[in-house]
Amino acid sequence: MSKLVAFAAIQGGYNIVQKAEGKYKAAVEKYGPDQKLEFPNTAYYLPIIYSLLGIPVKTLGDAKKPLEVARALLPAHVKIQNHLPYLGPLLDAGMAAILAEEIVEAIRYVEDPDFYLTAEDPDLEKGKIWLGAAEDTVFRKRGVQFVDGSAPGFAAIVGAAPNPEIAKAIALEYQKRSIYVFMAANQGGTTFSEQLVEAGVAIGWNTRLVPFGPDISAAVFALGFANRAAMAFGGVKPGDYQKMLLYNKERIFAFVNALGEVGAEWAANAAGCVNWGFPTLADTDIPPILPTGVCTYEHVVPNIEYDKMVQRSVEVRGLKTTVSTIDIPVAYGPAFEGERIRKGDMFVEMGGGSKTPTFEWVTSVDMDKVEDGKVEVIGPDLTSVKEGGSMALGIKVEVAGRKFQEDFEPILERQIHHLLNYAQGVMHTGQRDIGMVRISKEAIAKGFKLDHMGVILHGKLHQDFGAVFDKLQVKIYTDTKEVEKLRETCRKVWAARDARVENMTDEGTETYYSCTLCQSFAPNHVCVVSPERTGLCGAYNWMDCKASFEINPTGPNQPIEKGEVMDQKLGIFKGANEFVEKASRQAVNNVCFYSLMNDPMTTCGCCECIAAVLPSCNGVMSVHRDYTGETPIGMKFTTLAGEMGGGAQSPGFVGHAKYNIIQRKFLSGDGGIARIVWLPKSLKEELKDKIDARGKEIGIPDLYDRIADETVGTSEEAILPFLQEKKHPALEMDSILG
């Protein structure tokens, strides 16, 4: 009986819009129309309104128009008999509710600025549980996971489970599938978020269990997140509501779980979500809407049992997820990667603050020296450590296989960090000889032992990289002396390895690799990765792509014969162009590897840094995504990324990896690293040693000191005198505008 849903949702739409109008009127009276209205530290204004209606709401006064749109969308109520069609009106009522709620939530930021905590995780000690709109840094970081597939989708859970245990079970099930859980609304004052806290589950962005807010209106933070992703990564233009919503339907795999009684306002929100193609699954006996069309499959599915909620939800959304099956006593999956183990919760620490030696090393050995799956703990076990204590840790992974190449060693080695982190109760940072592992008391209580780390590495590396090796065994060293001794061996190996990679050149390499991993979000975008132009996300260098291709020959990393060199200075290669044209679905037909002025490479929006021309400085600035401040180009990172994301070429701008700055081919077509006139201080410092090294190479050993940062200024006028004083090389170079 969809009619009942329509009846309720339209009623709910009226209630919500009417309340929003009341709230708006009161706010205007109290604060005046010029009061700033925003979600703090976010681009895209109020993102739903901006993305769908194209209206940038900056002040209370600006919110009047979208509120009028919401009112105008409200349809007539559904008559009992001989009623008019209601599907379209129902969806309009839902949209009206969502638009109104976004304004309500924005007003809340004015009225009660401390209601939401602007952070990645709640501060439970201070009673701050609700996170509200994701800050841009959070949004970018998490958005990338949606883009690269490490987060297949999100579940918007509204209401509360019957008890905290059920809430915990559902949340865990989503975590195992790497699906984000966005939580809003309450059921009689109880919220799913608080139930999780009560059940001892860590919530926040880091564990993918995000407590948006206690009211149904907080659902707009979930929808807003989706629309921001579509603008940032999908290149969907604000105001193109049709494209925006279809993009969501086809590419953002989200859905709603309504837990508890569904009232009129929830119905309106569910109807609103259907506009996005996000279906609702409920634990109550609400009327079903099964025919497909606006959503990919069913629109409303009621009466779901709790233990089937997750499975049924992904099916209804048409989403394929995998659960890692690693035989260890704790839960395992990407959702646990961000989990932190505080000192008080820690059973043991290896490396890090405890200063015990560590190393992590992957090395290839002869086939007959490896017994696949063997895990040895060499040295004392955890039983020798007191709670809160420390010990040394050396992890040596020995692989063998006919297809295995030495070049794959560092790639496998880099997996250790996140693979160990995925285990609930295990925290890992760093790499090589600066790694740190903490294991929580809870994990130990569940039976976690050191050899489980070996089980994880064996199982997961086989799963993800099994195509390039046949056998793998793990040796875990815990004796301090032994670890220190082996660490020396490792250091020699690493030095040789680095030298080998650094000496690879684009000229000396005939095969480059494509990366179309992000095409799920940005279907026109193609990265081409060469040895001296690492992937713009910072995650994929040439070697990674090569290995990825070996592992999955039909996957997103394909070899590209660079073919005829059409312009070595700008980096134009016939083979690469042909590939890009095809893979970008004819959107881009010429790419210069080494220039931002001429047909630069595109970005999906998940680049680590964006370089931009500063004409009056005759140079280039670059900004990385962790820097939230202003830049001399007059745009923050997010605005820049928003301008150029989605796979479009924008001359004068180019996305790149941090590491790319100190690669020799960085903007070499435009003058190279000597063109860099401004970097954020934090980025500059991070790269200091390497900038110094590159400076020496090009005969400007003090290049580092000549590059301005935000302490010098955040406008061209402000930094130009500094550059002149420092005699920055860019000022003497040919005009960058050609």
Partner 1 sequence: MSEEKKAVPEAVSIDTATIKMLHIAQERGQETIFDRAVKMKQCNIGTEGICCKICSQGPCRLPMTKAIKDGAEPDTRKGLCGASPETIAARNLVRMMAAGCASHSDHGRSVAETFRAMAYGEAKDYTIKDELKLIDTAGYFGVPTTVKEGDEEVPRDKWEIAREIADIALGQWGTQQGQMIYPRRAPQATQDRWVKHGVWPRGIDREVVEIMHRTHMGVDQDYRNLLKQGARCSLGNGWGGSMMATDLQDIMFGTPYPNNGNINLGVLAHNKINIIVHGHDPLLSEMIVAAVHTPDMIEYAKTVGAEGYVVAGMCCTANEILVRHGMPIAGDYLQQELAVVTGAVEAMVVDVQCVMENLANISECYHTKFVTTMPIAKCAIGKNTVHVEFEEHHALDIAKKIVKLAADNYKNRGQVNIPSETNKMVVGFSTEAIKYHLGGTFRGSFVPLNDNIINGRIRGVVGVVGCNNARMEHDRVHIDMIKELIKNDVIVLTTGCSAMACGKAGLLTPEAAAVYAGPGLAEVCETVGIPPVLHMGSCLDNSRILTAATEVVKAGGLGKELADLPAAGAAPGWMSEKAVGIGQYFVTSGVYVMLGVPLPIYGSPKLVEHLEVEMEELYGGKWAYDPDPVSAARKIIDHIDKKRKALGIDTARERVLMDMADRQKLEVA
Segment holding 718, helix H or strand E = helix 716-726
Exposed/middle/buried for residue 38 (C-beta within 10 Å: 0-12, 13-18, 19+): middle
Of 238, 556, 619, 642, which lies in the binding site for partner 1, with binding defined by CB under 8 A?
Answer: 556
Of 263, 302, 318, 652, which lies in the binding site for partner 1, with binding defined by CB under 8 A?
Answer: 318
Judged by CB under 8 A, the stretch of 312-320, 411-419, 477-485, 539-547 that binds partner 1 is 312-320
Residue type, 461: L
Segment holding 304, helix H or strand E = none
Query: Which two structure tokens, joined as six digits, stand for 442?
Result: 């809870």
Contact between 52 and partner 1 per CB under 8 A? yes
CB nearer to partner 1: pick between 85 and 508? 85
Q: What are phi and psi of 565, to 5 degrees?
A: -85, 110
Q: How many CB atoms lie within 10 A of CB 701?
A: 13
CB nearer to partner 1: pick between 437 and 515? 515
Contact between 90 and partner 1 per CB under 8 A? yes
Residue type, 120: E
Which residues, in sequence order, are CB contacts of 503 under 8 Å at separation 6+? none
Segment holding 494, helix H or strand E = helix 480-502
Query: Which two structure tokens, joined as six digits, stand for 369?
Result: 């020296």
With vertex at residue 667, the alpha carbon angle to CA 663 and CA 668, rounded to the nearest 5 degrees, is 85
Return the DSSP state at 131.
-
Q: Which ranges of 112-218 does DSSP label H, i.e. alpha helix?
A: 136-148, 164-176, 192-198
CB nearer to partner 1: pick between 219 and 703? 219
Contacting partner 1 within 227-266 (CB under 8 A): 241-243, 245-247, 250-251, 253
Contact between 581 and partner 1 per CB under 8 A? no
Exposed/middle/buried for residue 332 (C-beta within 10 Å: 0-12, 13-18, 19+): buried
Query: Which two structure tokens, joined as six digits, stand for 496?
Result: 């040789």
Contacting partner 1 within 322-381 (CB under 8 A): 322
CB nearer to partner 1: pick between 84 and 445? 84
Contacting partner 1 within 393-412 (CB under 8 A): none
CB nearer to partner 1: pick between 242 and 735? 242
Contact between 523 and partner 1 per CB under 8 A? yes
Contact between 515 and partner 1 per CB under 8 A? no
Give least dist CB 95 to partner 1, A. Answer: 6
CB nearer to partner 1: pick between 72 and 698? 72
CB nearer to partner 1: pick between 115 and 297? 297
CB nearer to partner 1: pick between 154 and 722? 154
Query: Which two structure tokens, joined as six digits, stand for 637?
Result: 């990172």
Mask for 170-209, x = binds partner 1 (CB under 8 A)? ----------------------------------------
Give least dist CB 92 to partner 1, A. Answer: 5
Give least dist CB 231 to partner 1, A. Answer: 15
Contact between 275 and partner 1 per CB under 8 A? yes
Query: Which two structure tokens, joined as six digits, stand for 513?
Result: 């690799």
CB 357 within 8 A of CB 351: yes
Give least dist CB 291 to partner 1, A. Answer: 5
CB nearer to partner 1: pick between 52 and 210? 52
CB 379 within 8 A of CB 477: yes
Of 62, 92, 265, 670, which lies in the binding site for partner 1, with binding defined by CB under 8 A?
Answer: 92
CB 199 within 8 A of CB 167: yes
CB nearer to partner 1: pick between 435 and 556? 556
Closest CA to 211 of 152, 145, 99, 128: 128
- Applying CB under 8 A, the site for partner 1 has a residue count of 57
Give least dist CB 74 to partner 1, A. Answer: 11
Q: How many CB atoms lie within 10 A of CB 40?
A: 12
Residue type, 281: L
Binding site for partner 1 (CB under 8 A): 1-3, 6, 52, 73, 78, 81-92, 95, 148-149, 152, 241-243, 245-247, 250-251, 253, 275, 289-294, 297, 299, 314-315, 318-322, 516-517, 519-520, 523-524, 555-556, 585
